[in-house]
Structure 1
């Protein structure tokens, strides 16, 4: 596209595009197109002037991208998210500008009697809200606003009444804008993180990209997996956790004809869903609703500030009356009324939390509420599940040891058949090993039954086949080692994690899985200790020998081997009885009870969907240092909340004293009050970590 360089400095260009009129959608297309260019670090697009400001490290790449740019071509690249903040910002910008213009026209051109009549009409909104609060037995900010407006009107001071209402209106617009932008920014950063789904055609299931799913397709969702798209159950039966969408604490049973929603999780069972809405349909709005629900999960610091704001209203009202009784000066009385602590306290605290949640999302950390960030900041104990957390999320099969004269490849094929639907890193390793060897196992597909935290049971060719832990195979199911293979079984190496495969009650193979430690595990554990975590515990279902070796390498304070899900949850209960704050980190279905029991449950995002649904926080599994980052953000958030609290109380108290002293007028008090509220809210929207702290 033809464009002109308006201004250039080192690493920065301002260009004008000759495209006639630029719509808001076009501006988004241009912005995200330029952001995708290698060497571009920041972009601002101004639709009204058709200009773009580009910050870059590679000038040639930017100029080439501009020369190649065309709106239709860029739009087809699908770079723009479903929702951006541009339209929201424009809506509030226009609302703010029109409010100021209307005020200017009113004061300049409309006669005083008409302005007085308009002020009386507009005052009803504030008086109505104040009366409603009083009738419900509440002394809220609405009462203060109504009192200020009513007193001015009764005195015949219509000019002051109009000024007060103008400042209140400006404050409401700014507060609404700031809050909605925080929610929108966070919602835009969240996604399902589902890439592939099982699509059913006849009796065949095929794993395809979610982007290729169309309305009317049948997708299969099993225990522990997330429902990726909206639709109606066409077959099967399952209990579904809908907490993230509806807030229901208990799972809901879904059968044929029931409607299911994207983002909910199958806790138990299996269902076939007829897709009703393709990717993206309605999901953003539900994420916004979820975020708004999450704001109810306040930290105790937020809750303290909110309760203080409500408690201060009667004192403000009392101070107003006392000021009038002592001074008989209505102007000084109004100056007190125009300043309240509630707005700033109730706005800046949630915004600080939403901003921290958005910042966490920048690091691929999803947080469900402020109380969990507070729990992370106060925690002194961390419990790690081993597999997929301290070790890589992609373990590998090192070898398959067959028993009873069976063929190793056939046993791997059979194991992959059972494991391919199970949401766990060990299962993924088995499936990947079979695929690498070219072992097709479609013909082995059969009904599978999950036994949480133990393994899988199924029937293949009229024989009962199970795969899982030693406890499940030998103790729960009573399987035996084939006669003559006892020595081979006893010689199994302790350096590997083991999956045991049994057919018709007899051990058929042991799959040895290499579960290497993360390169950064030991350093991350040390960093967590340095951040104030005094006790780090590793819990695993592995044998004692393997667990001991891992614990020594990573530097945890204690470890527990051969544990079951209830053991992890019970350990956390015991820690709570000792007065400790506990974080649990896991990635599997078997970690769900412990994740629920902890003060903050953290799930690894490559793990089971049900673990992520139950967890309070989901962290990228790419780097354990993200846990250190989470701890730092949480600690800084608590510092910011406490700082906001002190500043708001002291600054507004100063305004009240200046008003009582006659130094500033009521409208000036309102101006400074609104300005300080906006300033601290904008400050609360900034990142908590500096560049060097990342």
Structure 2
């Protein structure tokens, strides 16, 4: 592909694609392709100019070569990326806003007064009708106030004032609609299906295939803890399925033969074989958008209070107008109250503030499922961390295998990988990766795999029972034993590692030693969280006391608990809440799901278990934990901006009402200043909360 370098500084390149016109689809393909290039940290594509701004940390020559090899027709982009990019939505709203402003200027400059007044009368019909419908429903809310202000202005011959009120109301509605739809769209895209490979049942057994190769009618096998990738009919198996992403229901529902399974829901217990009915990811996207718009998930408590307060203030505004007229018998002064009200700004600015904060969080790779969760983060005093994959890196590695069997180390690793590949946990991934690097084939040689949450895996291979998991699972639940000849070696297992125990027919055969390196930023993140308002940091892990103590000391937590079960984490959080603490739970595994649900805010790591991500209220990227600090700062700033908006709205509008009542400014001027201040507060609410130097 031919392109021109328009501007260049170290680590940043602006290029112009040599083509006559760039479509929305081409812009999305280009964005997707560049984002996938090695060494690219971020990219923005501007379809109007055909430009792309690329930030990179690879060599300049490598990037130029990759860009030169780019071809629209060679890039395989997931269909949902093209269908739900949001690029066309932004362009449409920009055109609507520009068109509205240009029409306003054209009318004022070129149209004669009588024609402008006639247009104002026609436009006023919609607002008056909305006010009448509100009254007919026995409600006195904002539409009544708008209709009254516009009607009184027209009756007094102030057509310019009426036109200005409607213009500013229209612009405000447009901006609110765009911000809302963009935030909902960004949120839904973040929540939408992102399953690269799925298990498909073939004649020769189960096979892992890319999701885009699945066709309608294929049989997809969904194991416990995994997301259901496509809509379809259950034709075998039985499971409890978490459908909260679709329905908002907190409890799992039972699915068995002939039940309908929805894409994006998660198998909590059991296993299902589903005959695929719909393969397009957009079906889930559309359902999520509908779910978000039909529920209160996006509304924080502050936002809801603002909306209710706005409606409650309308009767008082009308009463104030009547009272001023009765006391002064001056219609001009009475109109000063009517032209200025608090409700308009309250109802417009607060939702925009919250939705803009959610949008900004998304720019930092933080997916927030609703404004109320950011408010809860701002109020939180206690944060609980799972250790594995959270405070430690999400990519643990196998360092050694302590073998107690007659088989080779590679055979032990092969058996372990065969079982572990079905389950999305960081330690399971470490085992599978280690087997792959050694070139060990581990085709399906076992019977049905049973996964016991937070304990381990049980199956049969060649009529022998194989179990793999934690010490508690192997020795206390399964009652496995260590051969007398191996006890000395077993009691002196290498320290500093997490241990995965494997037994066959009740006898320990191997211990896989996994290094779970601490994240370099963990200690600094905890320090910064305390500076941002967190007063208590807790670490909970299923690891041994010895391992937990070492990690806790290095990261600087206030409390730590070792060898805990999933219900222990949830119980601790419940006790903290009963004691009045607002809690945050951060985890990445299936075993963290109960605690994520129990906390005021559950935060999942993006490459953790799909069940954890579905249940969590917020998902952060896996690259580093500094996003937690960014989230906390964003949430704190959000609450400060909401408080600031309240003060600004009350102060400005009270001043305008007072100035109008005392005759210092005419109603038309107060109405103009009121609408300008409302628009100004709303536009300010759309600005980023964090300056660039504070982002990490």
Query: How high is the TM-score relative to the length of structure 2?
Result: 0.87
1:231/1:275 contact within 8 Å kept: yes
2:416/2:468 contact within 8 Å kept: yes
Give the SS at the match of 1:542. coil
Cα offset for 1:356?
2.0
In structure 2, the CA distance between the partners of 1:110 and 1:432, relative to structure 1 (3 Å rule), is same
Q: Which runs of 5+ in 2 are unaligned?
A: none
2:235/2:258 contact within 8 Å kept: yes
Question: Counterparts of 1:9 and 1:474 in 2: how far apart (Å)?
Answer: 62
Q: Deviations over 1:304-351 (max 9, x none)?
A: 333332332222122211222233333433342233322322232222
Structural mapping, 1:295-306, within 5 Å: 296-306=297-307
Question: Counterparts of 2:468 and 2:55 in 1: how far apart (Å)?
Answer: 54
Counterpart in the other structure of 1:546 = 547
Counterpart in the other structure of 2:180 = 179
Q: Indicate whether 1:320 and 2:339 are aligned.
A: no
Q: Deviations over 1:39-94 (max 9, x none)?
A: 998867474xxx45676899x99x98999799965987789743344433443445
Give the SS at the match of 1:457. strand
Q: Deviations over 1:483-535 (max 9, x none)?
A: 44333322223422222222222223222222221222222222323333222
Give the SS at the match of 1:683. helix
Question: Counterparts of 2:36 and 2:229 in 1: how far apart (Å)?
Answer: 27
**Greater mean alpha carbon deviation, residues 184-193 or residues 639-648:** 184-193
**Greater mean alpha carbon deviation, residues 257-266 or residues 284-293:** 284-293
1:43/1:52 contact within 8 Å kept: no
Structural mapping, 1:185-334, within 5 Å: 185-187=186-188, 191-292=192-293, 296-334=297-335
Structural mapping, 1:425-574, within 5 Å: 425-574=426-575
Give the SS at the match of 2:677. helix
Question: Counterparts of 1:501 and 1:373 in 2: how far apart (Å)?
Answer: 42
1:366/1:619 contact within 8 Å kept: yes
Structural mapping, 1:85-164, within 5 Å: 85-96=86-97, 99=100, 112=114, 122-152=123-153, 164=165
Cα offset for 1:618?
1.3
2:246/2:265 contact within 8 Å kept: yes
Alignment RMSD, CA only?
3.8
Give the SS at the match of 1:282. helix
Cα offset for 1:557?
1.8
1:130/1:144 contact within 8 Å kept: yes
Give the SS at the match of 1:398. strand
Counterpart in the other structure of 1:421 = 422
1:229/1:262 contact within 8 Å kept: yes
In structure 2, the CA distance between the partners of 1:398 and 1:662, relative to structure 1 (3 Å rule), is same
Q: Indicate whether 1:350 and 2:346 are aligned.
A: no
Question: Counterparts of 1:104 and 1:606 in 2: how far apart (Å)?
Answer: 51
Give the SS at the match of 1:223. coil
**Greater mean alpha carbon deviation, residues 582-591 or residues 666-675:** 666-675
Cα offset for 1:563?
0.9
1:320/1:334 contact within 8 Å kept: yes
In structure 2, the CA distance between the partners of 1:97 and 1:330, relative to structure 1 (3 Å rule), is farther
Give the SS at the match of 2:83. coil
Q: Deviations over 1:550-571 (max 9, x none)?
A: 2222222221111111111121
Q: Indicate whether 1:647 and 2:648 are aligned.
A: yes
Counterpart in the other structure of 1:577 = 578
Counterpart in the other structure of 1:336 = 337
Give the SS at the match of 2:313. helix
Question: Counterparts of 1:419 and 1:76 in 2: how far apart (Å)?
Answer: 30
Q: Deviations over 1:394-444 (max 9, x none)?
A: 212222223354543333222222211112111111222222333222141
Q: Deviations over 1:118-162 (max 9, x none)?
A: 766654433333233334443210111222244346667667655
1:458/1:466 contact within 8 Å kept: yes
Question: Counterparts of 1:536 and 1:159 in 2: how far apart (Å)?
Answer: 59
Structural mapping, 1:602-641, within 5 Å: 602-641=603-642
Cα offset for 1:208?
2.9
Cα offset for 1:480?
2.2
Q: Deviations over 1:424-466 (max 9, x none)?
A: 1111112222223332221413211121111112222223222
Give the SS at the match of 2:282. coil
Question: Counterparts of 1:472 and 1:2 in 2: how far apart (Å)?
Answer: 60
1:525/1:554 contact within 8 Å kept: yes
Counterpart in the other structure of 2:363 = 362
Question: Counterparts of 1:374 and 1:294 in 2: how far apart (Å)?
Answer: 17
Question: Counterparts of 2:579 and 2:46 in 1: how far apart (Å)?
Answer: 56
Question: Counterparts of 1:8 and 1:171 in 2: how far apart (Å)?
Answer: 36
Counterpart in the other structure of 1:595 = 596
**Greater mean alpha carbon deviation, residues 349-358 or residues 155-164:** 155-164
Question: Counterparts of 2:181 and 2:552 in 1: how far apart (Å)?
Answer: 46
1:164/1:667 contact within 8 Å kept: no
Q: Which runs of 5+ in 1 are unaligned?
A: none
Question: Counterparts of 1:182 and 1:393 in 2: how far apart (Å)?
Answer: 29
Query: How high is the TM-score relative to the length of structure 1?
Result: 0.87
1:35/1:42 contact within 8 Å kept: yes
2:187/2:368 contact within 8 Å kept: no
In structure 2, the CA distance between the partners of 1:440 and 1:581, relative to structure 1 (3 Å rule), is same
Question: Counterparts of 1:676 and 1:184 in 2: how far apart (Å)?
Answer: 28
